[in-house]
Structure 1
Amino acid sequence: MADAVSHDQNFKNLIVDYPREALAFFAAEEAPGPEDDVHIAPVPVGAGLVPARARPAGVCETGGDEPRPYELDARASRPRSGAGSDLPSHRRARAERWLDSDNVVARVNLPNMHVTGHDRVEVYARAVSGLLEQETDGAKRAKYLDFIDIYAGLTDNELRRYRRLHPEEGSIVTGFFQRAREEGRAEGIERGIERRVRLLALKGAET
């Protein structure tokens, strides 16, 4: 049985790897500008270092009741649920707004957004192209190609159509997954490796 996807770890990694971009996407009004001299560091609430202000962002993979906002109190040991403005729901965010964004966090999250007017294959393609445009590090490319693939959840037919419509980028994606398999990489890259093997098999069937 395949291991369950750790959404919590996936998004923690994303925020730690791209803190400025994550702030700009999840809490734009709180994000520093390009000219601001700031240092961003992850601070676990459990460490007892409670900031004066906090903007929680809830990421919900499925529908249902959304989490209530938290109030942080310097006198309390942990955040507590309370009244306040609703948390942003990026499940309801329209993908069209972010299709050409230069924010890598927004682009890799396109499959998690509401899609209207564009099919899933095109949204997947825009997510992949955004990552390849904005990220040059090979390890991070592989890591977040996997992220995109997990949340897009394309069928075999959709993967075939993606490769047909975007042959150059499709070859890059396949190459990353193939190298990951050959190198025996773990911790996220091999998660779902059977799906990558299917993609490679689809490629072979087309030739």
Structure 2
Amino acid sequence: MSNSPAPPPRRRRINHDQNFKDLVLDFPQAALAFFLPQERITLDDDLIITPIRQETTRRRLRHRTLLLDVPLKVVWRDGSRPPLVVLFEFESRTSRFDPHRLHEYVAREARMEKTLRALAVVIFLHRGKISSSMTLAGDHLPGLTFSWVTWQLGAMDARDQADSPNIIARLTSVCMKRPADALSRVHVYGRAVRGLLTLTFDPGLHRKHLDFLEDYLSLDADEWRLFEQLYDMESKHMGAFRERWLEEGRRQGIAQGIEQGVAQGFAQGEQRLLARLLARKFGPLDDATENRLRNASTDEINRWTDQILIARTLDEVFRLQ
């Protein structure tokens, strides 16, 4: 038997842009309250928030990245303030930010909405050198000054958001800086999970944004055990989610079984669900793993599914008893 160390866990490719789009579109008022404190938008304001177009017109697509992230139109129901257009843009690193492109986005949306009340918020995952304005001018004449709101999540302290009543603050805390020890990591993850479970009651959103948390703070097997000890209620809720996912897979398998045979469809539904959970935690599966799942018994599928949360690597999923 080889004594070589187990390979590091493989992670699925993270789509940062889509992750943050989902976050803002699912919790738009919380996003405005958290990322635009200067505008004094609160969680209690009576607002109508509408996503507006997310793609430019076809003739403008010469720039391959000329794609609006999340533009929102904010309307106060009581008319106390004029409507406001807010554009959220997401970048993983400051070096990829293009202020000219952002200015084009905001100017286009302001023109389309026939308003001068338009703001831009740029959210970066990592710390870096970045400005919050640019000026276009000549040698002697002033020109245009364009400003935007900048957030660098990697420069913020996760512990400051541990008890926030804002779900955006709680979820994005896993993207913020934190001590590297296991206890600190578990507390950041646990408080984020607690925020997700207590600040929204939609099981679909729970499931969706648990994926977000795991993308940016993945616990190893020892940390999972510590999480289960310190966050018993949250851990049990996550177990309940897992059972729902399994049931969903069973329903999909039974539906497919109408054409393929109920037993075969049932097994394939569970195999597909396990493959999806494994890929989410460890990254794309190789052909050998795919074949192993296809040929697995029901008992093996159930045992491997139970071991996903505590396994540190893909090999451990299949090796642990």
The 8 Å contact of residues 91 and 113 in structure 1, kept in 2 or not, is answered as yes
Matches within 5 A, 1:25-40: 25-33=34-42, 36-40=45-49
**For 2:208, which of 120, 140, 143 is the aligned residue?**
143
Residue 176 of structure 1 deviates from its aligned partner by: 1.1
Residue 85 of structure 1 deviates from its aligned partner by: 6.2
Residue 69 of structure 1 deviates from its aligned partner by: 5.2
Residue 83 of structure 1 deviates from its aligned partner by: 6.0
Q: Larger Cα Rg: Structure 1 or Structure 2?
A: 2
The 8 Å contact of residues 158 and 173 in structure 2, kept in 1 or not, is answered as yes
**C-alpha distance after superposition, 1:107-145 (max 9, x if no partner):** 111111122597110011100111111111111111112
| TM-score (norm. length: structure 2) | 0.51
* Structure 1 portions without partners, runs of 5+: 72-81
Give me the identity figure in percent: 30
Q: How far apart in 1 are the matches of 2:146 and 2:109?
A: 22
Could you say which residue in structure 1 is the equivalent of 2:109?
49
Could you say which residue in structure 2 is the equivalent of 1:102?
165
1:115 is matched by which residue type in structure 2?
R
**C-alpha distance after superposition, 1:51-104 (max 9, x if no partner):** 524433333334444476589xxxxxxxxxx76466122221222221111101
Q: Mean alpha-carbon deviation: is it higher for 167-176 or for 108-117?
A: 108-117
Note closer, same or farther for the CA distance 1:168–1:61 as it changes in structure 2 (3 Å cut): same
Establish whether residue 121 from structure 1 lines up as the match of residue 186 from structure 2. yes
Matched pairs, number: 195
Note closer, same or farther for the CA distance 1:170–1:52 as it changes in structure 2 (3 Å cut): same
**For 1:161, which of 203, 208, 226 is the aligned residue?**
226
Matches within 5 A, 1:1-207: 3-33=12-42, 36-44=45-53, 46=56, 48-50=108-110, 52-66=116-130, 84=147, 87-115=150-178, 119-184=184-249, 190=277, 192=280, 198-199=308-309
1:158 is matched by which residue type in structure 2?
E
The structure that is strand-richer by fraction is 2
Q: How far apart in 2 are the matches of 1:103 and 1:35?
A: 11
Could you say which residue in structure 2 is the equivalent of 1:74?
none
Q: How far apart in 2 are the matches of 1:171 and 1:70?
A: 50
Q: How far apart in 1 are the matches of 2:25 and 2:175?
A: 19
Q: How far apart in 2 are the matches of 1:166 and 1:132?
A: 12
CA RMSD of aligned residues (A): 3.7
Residue 151 of structure 1 deviates from its aligned partner by: 1.1
* Structure 2 portions without partners, runs of 5+: 1-9, 58-107, 136-144, 253-272, 284-304, 313-320
| TM-score (norm. length: structure 1) | 0.75
1:32 is matched by which residue type in structure 2?
I
Residue 31 of structure 1 deviates from its aligned partner by: 4.8
1:8 is matched by which residue type in structure 2?
D
